[in-house]
Structure 1
Amino acid sequence: MFAYNTIYIPFINSRPLIICWCSRNIQNSRMKFGKEYASQMVPEWQEAYMNYDSLKTILKDIQRMKQRSRQNGGLKRAMTLYRAFSGLVQGQKKTPISPSKKDIESQYILVNSVSKNGSESYETTFLKVAEEGGECEQEYFRRLDDEFNKVDKFYRTKVKEVIAEAESLSQQMDALIAFRIKVEKLQGVLQDSTQSEPVEQKQETTSSGIKSVPLEILGHVKLNKTFETPGSIIQNFVNVAGQTETFSRENLKKVEKQLKTAFVEFYLKLRHLKSYSFLNILAFSKIMKKYDKITSRRASTSYMRMVDNSYLSISDEQVTKLMERVEDTFIKHFSNSNRRKGMNNLRPKTKKERHRISFSLGLFVGCSAALILALILIIHARGLLDKRGKTQYMENMFPLYSLFAFVVLHMLMYASNICFWRQYRVNYPFIFGFKQGTELGYREVLLVSFCLAALALTSVLSNLDMEMNPKTKEYEALTELLPLGLVLLVIIVLICPFNIIYRSSRFFFLASLFHCICAPLYKVALQDFFLADQLTSQVQAIRSLEFYICYYGWGDYKQRQNTCKSSGVYNTFYFIVAVIPYWSRFLQCLRRLCEEKDPMQGYNGLKYLATIIAITTRTAYSLYMGFSWKIISGIFSAIATIYGTYWDLVVDWGLLQRQSKNRWLRDKLLIPSKSVYFAAIVLNVLLRFAWLQTVLNIQFSFLHRQTLITIVASLEIIRRGIWNFFRLENEHLNNVGKYRAFKSVPLPFTYCEEDEDHNE
């Protein structure tokens, strides 16, 4: 019969943790705990957790020393057979040890609280140093104390922060309630109802703790103005001071929304604190039990008694009560006393892995592979590469279908990014600001990408005719409209308001895209400039959309003919659409420069300005040719490439640090193999110079010009996919270095009592 023990840890890191172990296989269970312990850490706080692996390494050294000691001890006992016999009767009888003395001698450690520089810490004295191997055990307890003091100090700091934030939120709630009363004009009604109450009822109300909120609070607060939308900016310029209505329902909704978000984020902090406390206490318990087993001592009881009496354990009740008060406040004031609705908003939703996702993904991967194989076989079987209409097909149809190739390739790169971000515990949902439980995993992204690939390949197979209909002297209208229909289908799905096909992710993408288009009118968040950077690698896809409009709007799609390249309007927009993503990033940098006063944003803006000039001159050379355009485009492209490469490696990736302990990289690396970083550096440099094909006009006889353009554009997408991983890795490590695990939520009110007192 096996003895099983199970510990249930509710809601740690957005999912329940269940740790089971069997006494028969204790070693495997400990390995499992170490992995579970690491997986349940708050990623940005991982350095503040107890270093379980390092302490376990010391215990392994102690275990090896004990084993060697037992082996040597066997030889020593064998030598006692040759010692002189001392007799059966002792000449002097030993006195028994008193109970108090026995208790003292049975102890192995003494744990004391020490005050250093005004802060409390703990020191453990190992009482068996004189024994063989005692120095190693003493070192273990010294490291153990360092880890516990680190954990305790960090926890104290975070608890103080949440208590201070709780007081601030309490003041914000007082102001919100007064603001509600002012907007709803309820103050007179409340006063009348209070005056009409009997004295006994008033006393009962007072004794029950219910109090009315005085409107005088509003005289000591001011409503913070936010300039995050074009409307707020325009309103700030148009409205004259004193003419705006502060106590309006519109402002009330904004205030409630801000405070609701602040409470949700604050509750998440409290949950992380409870998880942090529980996991660390469990880790100390585990490591001490492991110590007891290896050394055959009973020191865990004494040490865990200290842990249980420390701030790490005692303050857990305080955090729990604070969580309960937050729940009650949120349910009452933001969920209309609907507890189920309120708790659903407060608690992060657990993302479930559905088998139908894996099944559908496998289905569409198989369909895409089969369609690609069928496409290759049909081309060779029909000899389509030798048909007269091949050139016409490549000039007209190939640019239409290459759009889907660019989108699918970018999505595949993004799916691989998500897979590796998860593997190396990069907290990409927090960095991008996804609503918890709604972010897409790599399986979902792969499913969408292969579904789109299957549809596009089906459209290509249906539209492989290289010869016109001999009777009508035209191509089939229905099949010629398939690319346009597929584009319209994608747009319809993207803007579909119904809760299907990952609506939250679609709307998140559309909101960020709208912010990029409207730059610099919106406040720049990371997801906005990250998306704008993705668009800079999809210039050819944007040009394909321009070609769609020209081809189906003014061309003769039934004859597969167009006059786009000879149109001055088309050529003008050929410049503009290529510049739009870089211009958006340039404006975003200007906005951040004005708001943050960070000169690095100005330098980043110059990088995009240089790229705009390079793109413009390369486009002019591709359209008009000429030696002068070739020289100009080459010079500006080289400047922009060197500038961009340096920015990628040094600023965005944080690499090429000469004084780093990982030479030419950075101090902290998530990938164990350093060669991966050097390979990424080389690839980034090489792929950055893909523009040489345009400037040098490199052509291959076996490749059509449109095919070569598609290949060069695909290389840029691959470069961007590599850039994505290391860019977010560097962002994550910066958050880890600052223990930044939560969003900064602006509060709606500012108390100005101190300012008024100072002015008086």
Structure 2
Amino acid sequence: MKFGKEFASQMIPEWRDAYMSYSCLKTLLKEILIFRQRQIMYRSPAKAPVKATSLKRKGSLFRTFSGLTSGYGNTSPRKDEEDEVILVSAMQVADEEQGEELRSYQTTFLRSTEEGSDFEQVFFRQLDLEFNGVIKFYQGKVEEVLKQAEELNIQMDALIALRIKVNDPHAIPPFINEKTSGAYPLEVIQEINTSGDGNEEEEEEEEEKKRSDDRKGYKMASLEVLNHIKLNDTAETPRSTVRSVFHLGKSELHYNKKELKYAQEKLKLAFIEFHEKLRFLKSYSFLNQLAFSKIMKKYDKITSRNASDAYLKTVDESYLGQSDEVVKLLERVEAAFIKHFCNGNRRQGMDTLRPKAKRDRHRITFFVGCFFGCSLALIVAIIVLVHARNLLQHRSRTAYMNTIFPLYSLFGFVVLHILMYAANVYYWTRYRVNYSFIFGFKQGTELGFKEVLLLGSGLSVVTLAGILSNLEMDLDERTQSYKALTELLPLGLVIVLLLITVCPFNIFYRANRFFLLVCLWHCICAPFYLVTLPDFFLADQFTSQVQLLRSLQFYVCYYGWGDYKQRDASTCNGSNIYKTIHIVVAVIPYWIRVLQCLRRLCEGRDSTQAMNALKYFSIIVAVVTRTIQTQIGQADGRYTETTTEIATAATDGRYMTIKYIALATSIFATIFATYWDLVMDWGLLCRNSVNPWLRDKLILPKKSIYFIAMVLNVLLRLAWMQTVLGFHEGRFLHRNALVAIVASLEIIRRGLWNFFRLENEHLNNVGKFRAVKSVPLPFSHEDRQKDL
């Protein structure tokens, strides 16, 4: 792999703009190369063309060993002053943003009188610009982590003091040995030393001397810090939310184990994220130094000059090469984490701080291919069976479509959504969208697209096998007496799927299942939980799975009321309670989003959430009116197999009134939601953007894809028109089949939305250079000077 591609692959995605622009400098070197090639051709036109030096890496069996401790510079001796090409000077420049003075480097090209020197001057100007930008970013990040380290010191002092106080409630300030469990005030020690006769005093002095010698190397932890701190009760539970409403976010310490456990978990996460940020900085420094070394070596190779020695010496002597704060902090953080959070177990501590990268397993690829092959075979078998038995014209066709089809369509919606998510993961990974960081997955537990495909294809095999077996059992005369038992097959599949989801054992990606359940619980309990991106992202997925929720409602009614014994859904469809719940079920996902938007609005994070809540409320009105229109049409017999009845019954005033209301509310909600999708969620339709009607930064290489996605989003959002305009079923298409197709189109639209929504979120993180999660600290200190 060429260095340019390797350099890009190892970049931290959120800091990509802060790295040295290797491709830009390489482009400038190509211009120098082209100029020199033309110069050679013009000077000797009659001779054979001379092969000029290229930028491509040449293979060689023998390479010079550069040593292990020589740094990035060339170890060859410096040439005479007459051979010097550049002169790098440092100067102090005021930084207007930070209000400080920074060291800036400027390169003077000493061969400016030579022909074609303009190209090389442009190269060094750009090189200085990149170098100064890298130093400025790195120095700013180092200062940032030093401040965070200072805050973590205070937090650790408070944690150790709290740990001592919880383990020994009788501990007395001001000092206590970190190793011993007892606590003695300084006055008591002095009183013991001065009491008794001379011999006892000498013995006690010797014992105290021994104890003081034993205590050497152990830091004495102060308990005074507990007098100036409070426990941060962040709004992450319904109880803490209520406390925050009444401004009770900070609570006094009660010195119990529950508080200690809470503080340890929070501070442990803070150390893990802080360590990851330090590793990012270390990698950033190393990669940029290596990139400057590579680009200067290429310059020397093209121009046959010796400028790399001087410039790389400047790089080594700069803040980027000389600063060792990050390395020292890494060592101290690792030592502190191992000692205080892993009981001195270095292997456990390093596995936590530096989790191993996931490895692709060939068996996953094998099973994905196997399950997809089985799925295709089962689909072909079902199609052949339907046509061979002429089931489309069978007398029980209507009963089957009204009962069994809605039961199995639930699994179809789930499989389709999983497949769309697998496609999202694939393209997020391909275009380096850091979806794992955005969703907040624990490092190493995120699912790749192959694992997601494994789940989707496995579920599709089970579902298709159930459909095929159900058809066979219904057609076989020997199983006619067991028809009630065969109807329980879909219910069994649902129960198995739910049991696997809540299974506490470490199988079937337990970490991801529990992450999903936690987000689902946060959605159910909205707005009592702090709204994070995974929470409202999951709620948005449910807004596109309304038909799945209605299928679950049908499961409860069909099996709860015993309709499965006669394969007749008239009890459910004819119940007014069922129809009312049918509307409520469709409203629930949108109502959850309304509550989440209001919660974020109350937190003061984003004032636009008021408009977002209004958008979902308008969708609620549109969904309710469309559902009522459909129910009225079914009650009046409009949705039948013949379209003439629909036309003759269209004169009913009540039906036409609700139809016009549904049409108006749906148009308004569609325009509102489409605008929000394209402008707010995707960040597109920017008139003054570098990319017209898109945004300044794009991830996909072709701009046309964004316009196609916008058009598809609009068209797929208009799928509701089949409900309002009466296109409910044709001659060969049952109404439930049409509903399933429309629901599938909405799932596909949501899959497209997912990719561009996360792309926009990723670019926002890139703009803010946000590559590490911000973990709330457990303690807040009133007076920092006192703690210090």
Change (3 A) 1:529 1:243: closer
1:596 Cα offset (Å): 2.2
Say whether residues 1:254 and 2:262 are aligned partners.
yes
1:547 Cα offset (Å): 0.4
Change (3 A) 1:239 1:666: closer
Say whether residues 1:561 and 2:568 are aligned partners.
yes
| More displaced 10-residue stretch of structure 1: 162-171 or 243-252 | 243-252
| Counterparts of residues 589-600 of structure 1 (less than 5 Å) | 589-600=597-608
Give the Cα–Cα distance (whole angstroms) in 1 for the partners of residues 525 and 404 of structure 2: 32
Change (3 A) 1:310 1:76: farther
Change (3 A) 1:755 1:617: farther
Give the Cα–Cα distance (whole angstroms) in 2 for the partners of residues 673 and 498 of structure 1: 45
Say whether residues 1:204 and 2:174 are aligned partners.
no
| Counterparts of residues 409-424 of structure 1 (less than 5 Å) | 409-424=416-431
Deviations 1:416-442 (A, max 9, x none): 111111111111000000001100011
| Counterparts of residues 57-68 of structure 1 (less than 5 Å) | 57-68=27-38
Which residue pairs with 1:620 in the alignment?
628
Aligned residues with identical type, % of pairs: 57
1:522 paired residue among 529, 549, 566: 529
Deviations 1:280-315 (A, max 9, x none): 111111111111111111111111111111111111
Give the Cα–Cα distance (whole angstroms) in 2 for the partners of residues 302 and 223 of structure 1: 54
SS of the residue corresponding to residue 44 of structure 2 reads helix
Quick check: 2:473–2:480 contact (8 Å CA) kept in 1? no
Give the Cα–Cα distance (whole angstroms) in 2 for the partners of residues 479 and 372 of structure 1: 20
Which residue pairs with 1:191 in the alignment?
183
1:248 Cα offset (Å): 1.7
Quick check: 1:226–1:232 contact (8 Å CA) kept in 2? yes
2:495 paired residue among 485, 488, 495: 488
Which residue pairs with 1:680 in the alignment?
709
Which residue pairs with 1:152 in the alignment?
135
| More displaced 10-residue stretch of structure 1: 255-264 or 32-41 | 32-41
Change (3 A) 1:206 1:103: farther
Quick check: 2:435–2:758 contact (8 Å CA) kept in 1? yes
1:629 paired residue among 626, 651, 658: 658
Say whether residues 1:41 and 2:50 are aligned partners.
no
| TM-score normalized by the length of structure 2 | 0.86
| One-letter identity of the residue aligned with 1:683 | L
1:114 paired residue among 91, 113, 117: 91
Give the Cα–Cα distance (whole angstroms) in 1 for the partners of residues 694 and 127 of structure 2: 32
1:108 Cα offset (Å): 0.9
1:597 Cα offset (Å): 5.0
Give the Cα–Cα distance (whole angstroms) in 1 for the partners of residues 317 and 558 of structure 2: 76
Change (3 A) 1:664 1:282: same
Give the Cα–Cα distance (whole angstroms) in 1 for the partners of residues 358 and 31 of structure 2: 41
Deviations 1:104-147 (A, max 9, x none): 21111111111111210111111111112211111111111111
Which residue pairs with 2:749 in the alignment?
719
SS of the residue corresponding to residue 191 of structure 1 reads coil
Which residue pairs with 2:591 in the alignment?
583
SS of the residue corresponding to residue 344 of structure 2 reads coil
SS of the residue corresponding to residue 463 of structure 1 reads helix
Give the Cα–Cα distance (whole angstroms) in 2 for the partners of residues 40 and 343 of structure 1: 21
1:544 paired residue among 551, 558, 564: 551
Which residue pairs with 2:738 in the alignment?
708
| Counterparts of residues 123-272 of structure 1 (less than 5 Å) | 123-185=106-168, 187-188=171-172, 189-192=181-184, 195=189, 198-201=207-210, 203-204=212-213, 208=217, 210-234=218-242, 246-272=254-280
Give the Cα–Cα distance (whole angstroms) in 2 for the partners of residues 628 and 688 of structure 1: 23
Deviations 1:350-373 (A, max 9, x none): 111100110010000100011111
| One-letter identity of the residue aligned with 1:103 | D
Quick check: 1:474–1:559 contact (8 Å CA) kept in 2? no
Quick check: 2:536–2:593 contact (8 Å CA) kept in 1? yes
| One-letter identity of the residue aligned with 2:680 | V
1:218 Cα offset (Å): 1.2
| One-letter identity of the residue aligned with 2:8 | A
1:232 Cα offset (Å): 2.4
1:650 Cα offset (Å): 0.5
Change (3 A) 1:379 1:127: same
Give the Cα–Cα distance (whole angstroms) in 2 for the partners of residues 652 and 238 of structure 1: 33
Quick check: 1:387–1:466 contact (8 Å CA) kept in 2? no
Quick check: 2:357–2:444 contact (8 Å CA) kept in 1? yes
| Counterparts of residues 123-522 of structure 1 (less than 5 Å) | 123-185=106-168, 187-188=171-172, 189-192=181-184, 195=189, 198-201=207-210, 203-204=212-213, 208=217, 210-234=218-242, 246-315=254-323, 317-464=324-471, 476-522=483-529
Give the Cα–Cα distance (whole angstroms) in 2 for the partners of residues 472 and 379 of structure 1: 18
Give the Cα–Cα distance (whole angstroms) in 2 for the partners of residues 122 and 178 of structure 1: 47
Change (3 A) 1:566 1:468: farther
Which residue pairs with 1:105 in the alignment?
82
Quick check: 2:233–2:249 contact (8 Å CA) kept in 1? no
1:754 Cα offset (Å): 6.0
Quick check: 1:367–1:454 contact (8 Å CA) kept in 2? yes
1:646 paired residue among 675, 679, 697: 675
Deviations 1:644-685 (A, max 9, x none): 011001100011111111111111111121111111111111
SS of the residue corresponding to residue 557 of structure 1 reads helix
Give the Cα–Cα distance (whole angstroms) in 1 for the partners of residues 695 and 337 of structure 2: 43
| More displaced 10-residue stretch of structure 1: 242-251 or 511-520 | 242-251
1:729 paired residue among 759, 762, 772: 759
| One-letter identity of the residue aligned with 1:301 | D
| One-letter identity of the residue aligned with 2:360 | E
Deviations 1:422-479 (A, max 9, x none): 1111110000000011000111101100100000000000011596777996553332
1:555 Cα offset (Å): 3.2
RMSD, matched Cα: 2.4
Give the Cα–Cα distance (whole angstroms) in 2 for the partners of residues 754 and 446 of structure 1: 52
1:386 Cα offset (Å): 1.6
Quick check: 1:51–1:147 contact (8 Å CA) kept in 2? yes
Gaps spanning 5+ residues in structure 1: where? Answer: 1-28, 79-100
SS of the residue corresponding to residue 50 of structure 1 reads coil
Give the Cα–Cα distance (whole angstroms) in 1 for the partners of residues 224 and 412 of structure 2: 63
Change (3 A) 1:108 1:713: same
Aligned residue pair count: 704
Which residue pairs with 1:740 in the alignment?
770
Give the Cα–Cα distance (whole angstroms) in 1 for the partners of residues 621 and 552 of structure 2: 22
| TM-score normalized by the length of structure 1 | 0.89
Deviations 1:559-596 (A, max 9, x none): 21121011122111101111111111111011111112
Quick check: 1:475–1:558 contact (8 Å CA) kept in 2? no
Give the Cα–Cα distance (whole angstroms) in 2 for the partners of residues 199 and 641 of structure 1: 81
| One-letter identity of the residue aligned with 2:402 | E
Give the Cα–Cα distance (whole angstroms) in 1 for the partners of residues 283 and 327 of structure 2: 11
Give the Cα–Cα distance (whole angstroms) in 2 for the partners of residues 669 and 578 of structure 1: 35
Quick check: 1:459–1:482 contact (8 Å CA) kept in 2? yes
